[in-house]
Structure 1
Amino acid sequence: MAETKTMKEKVALVTGAGMGIGLACAEAFARAGYITVLSDISPTLKL
């Protein structure tokens, strides 16, 4: 994800972040500098 001026001091809430597309999105937001909040329904996943 390319960093732009509009991505500074932003928060991303990612549901379904335990695996697959949700996890990939969460990782991309975190790498881009977002404050990233993760959520997933599975109690056994270790994020």
Structure 2
Amino acid sequence: MGNNIEGKVVVITGASSGLDEATARLLSSQGAILVLGGAEH
């Protein structure tokens, strides 16, 4: 089974913490191109 995420662009909102941050780290390690958004309160 190949890596289907490598080179794909993924947009994640709320990437500054929690599950979204972990997802961003995982996808990045698998070669995805990330666009991240987050907000400070």
> TM-score band, normalised by the shorter chain?
0.7 to 0.9
Task: State the structure with bigger RCO (CA 8 A, min sep 6), 1 or 2.
Answer: 2
Say whether the 8 Å CA contact 2:5–2:27 is kept in structure 1.
no
Unpaired stretches in structure 2, ≥5 consecutive residues: none
Q: TM-score, normalised by structure 2?
A: 0.79
Which runs of no fewer than 5 residues in structure 1 stay unpaired?
A: none
* Aligned-pair identity (%): 29
Q: Distance in 2 between matches of 1:4 and 1:22?
A: 23
What is the TM-score normalised by the length of structure 1?
0.71
Runs of 4 or more consecutive aligned structure 1 residues displaced over 6 Å after TM superposition: none
